[in-house]
Structure 1
Amino acid sequence: MKRLAAFDLDGTLALNKQPLDDEMADLLTRLLDVTMVAIISGGDWPQFEKQVVSRMPARARLDNFIIQPTTGTKLYRHADGQWTRIYADLFTGDESQRIREALTKAVEQAGYANENIWGEQIEDRGSQITFSALGQQAPLEAKDTWDPDHAKRKKLQALLQPLLPGFAINIGGATSIDITREGIDKAYGLKRLSEQTGVALDEMIFFGDAIFPGGNDYPAKHLGLDTVRVRDVAETKSVVGAIAAWLV
């Protein structure tokens, strides 16, 4: 039996940058009663507070809950009534500048510089830099129609790779590209999760909507974890509901 269930966030547990709905929060709470739960995603801690932490019911067993922002380059646990950061692997100033310059060049080459933008496109999350093609505040309707087959971001990914040797460039969310140091992806985060919890990788199961080559959930599969690729939040609810009922 699996001792830990790990999840992607956007597109898996919630709509892009939206809070967990009541049903999903309740399902995760039921799962926390019977196993450890981790969420690993590209957003930083403030985004997790808004989307996840603030939505969990008071009865949730937060001691069983682990949050891994910025593709697992940070890890938070709950103890003594508060969340504490356990580790953080941060970029240097030079690394951040190189990534910003490469993004500007690649976006121009791809022809995406003149898109309608809502908010900042480039967000430095300390240990990860995320490019959101339509901006951080873009409406869901615009995001859902911009790159549904990932073709636009695969083009941008291909342009960035020769510009950023030594970095990992992955597709995430609905319009995003996540950039971390090479070797730092969800596989890295899941290995750190194993170290922190004492749960072996073969005792984990991972759920995500981007478990395909180039997707930011794919490293979990490449690592050898049992994985479940979900189409959307509704399918995650069905799967988690069945697992929670079976484990009780």
Structure 2
Amino acid sequence: MKKLIIFDLDGTLAESKAAIDEEMGTILGNLLTVARVAIISGGDWPQFEKQVLAHLPKGSLKRLSILPTCGTKYYTYKQGWKQLYAENFTDEEKKLIIQSLNEAVDASGYKAKKTWGEQIEDRGSQVTYSALGQQAPLDQKKKWDPDFAKRKEIKKTLDKTLKAFSVQMGGATSIDITKPGIDKAYGIRKLKTVLDIKISEMIFIGDALFEGGNDHPARKTGVACIQVRDPEETKRVVEGISVCLGFKTRKNSNIISG
């Protein structure tokens, strides 16, 4: 029996930087009645508050774990949200990463001509490069690198210049850099310890489980993985999981049946 369902956020539960919609909020709320849920994403804590937490049923939060910045931070709910850990960079590490990112982008020839907001964001335990900027419109982001080809070229350079770090692609236009070994696999192992749940009792759902994608490290743990195309496919997958775990709906309704 599966006890913990783990999700990526952008591209899996919601469109990039967008809030989960009402249907997804209901589906996740239903899932939380029959299983624990965790979300591991490259976004930082404020992103989770806006994209997810503000749109979930309030009574379900005790069964939810939040792991921002690819698992480099961990938040749990106990009479309010509490941070359990944060694997932050030193100032010297941040300086090296930012310099290497700028050089790799310049060398790739894929430097964006137009950007919306800052391209490089310091998230404490993660540095994230967003090719079109943090505030880029979703339609522009979707067509910039749909097959990840541009970011794969940038990543090739970073894998050489930042050998002491983990470099992964995620979202629609981003590259996430964390400390070595501090990735979604690390987060999953933390969940195993903190929640006392076996890897065999977990499922991970994400849209970037391919080699180089920021969900791919999850595979290293041996967790059962489900690749999805987008949030709409995630909804159908989660509905099936909820039914298998014992969730029942009223006829013609997604309302919890008591």
Amino acid at match of 1:161: D
Corresponding position of 1:240: 238
Corresponding position of 1:183: 181
Distance 2:179 2:7 in 1: 22
Secondary structure, aligned partner of 2:2? coil
Corresponding position of 1:7: 7
Distance 2:242 2:200 in 1: 19
Corresponding position of 2:73: 74
In structure 2, list runs of 5 or more residues that go unmatched: 248-258
User: Which deviates more from structure 2 when the two are superposed, residues 187-196 or residues 122-131?
Assistant: 187-196
1:219 Cα deviation after fit: 1.0
Q: Is the 8 A contact 2:40 2:70 kept in 1?
A: yes
1:145 Cα deviation after fit: 0.3
Moved beyond 2 Å, runs of 4+? 112-115
Alignment of 1:171 onto 2:169: yes
TM value normalised by structure 1: 0.97
Q: 1:182-209, CA deviations, whole angstroms, 9 ceiling, x for partnerless residues?
A: 1111111111111111111111100000
Corresponding position of 2:31: 31
Corresponding position of 2:215: 217
Secondary structure, aligned partner of 2:13? coil
Alignment of 1:103 onto 2:90: no
1:113 Cα deviation after fit: 2.8
The 5-angstrom pairing of residues 117-136 of structure 1 reads 117-136=115-134
Distance 1:196 1:110 in 2: 41
Distance 1:3 1:69 in 2: 21
Distance 2:111 2:136 in 1: 15
Identity %: 53
User: How many residue pairs get matched?
Assistant: 246
Q: Is the 8 A contact 2:119 2:132 kept in 1?
A: yes
Which of 224, 230, 242 aligns to 2:228? It is 230
Distance 2:153 2:110 in 1: 11
Q: Is the 8 A contact 2:112 2:131 kept in 1?
A: no
Amino acid at match of 1:63: K
Distance 2:168 2:75 in 1: 23
Q: Is the 8 A contact 2:112 2:132 kept in 1?
A: no
Q: 1:118-147, CA deviations, whole angstroms, 9 ceiling, x for partnerless residues?
A: 000000100000000000000000000000
1:57 Cα deviation after fit: 2.0
Secondary structure, aligned partner of 1:162? helix
Amino acid at match of 1:29: G
Secondary structure, aligned partner of 1:123? strand
Corresponding position of 2:201: 203
Distance 2:96 2:50 in 1: 30
Amino acid at match of 1:113: K
1:87 Cα deviation after fit: 0.9
Secondary structure, aligned partner of 2:66? strand
Amino acid at match of 2:30: R
Secondary structure, aligned partner of 2:161? coil
Secondary structure, aligned partner of 1:154? helix
Distance 1:146 1:230 in 2: 20
1:13 Cα deviation after fit: 0.3
Distance 2:197 2:185 in 1: 14
Corresponding position of 1:158: 156
Q: 1:22-65, CA deviations, whole angstroms, 9 ceiling, x for partnerless residues?
A: 0001101000001100000000000100001111123x411100
1:114 Cα deviation after fit: 4.2
Q: 1:82-127, CA deviations, whole angstroms, 9 ceiling, x for partnerless residues?
A: 1111111100000000000001101110113343100000001000
Secondary structure, aligned partner of 1:161? helix
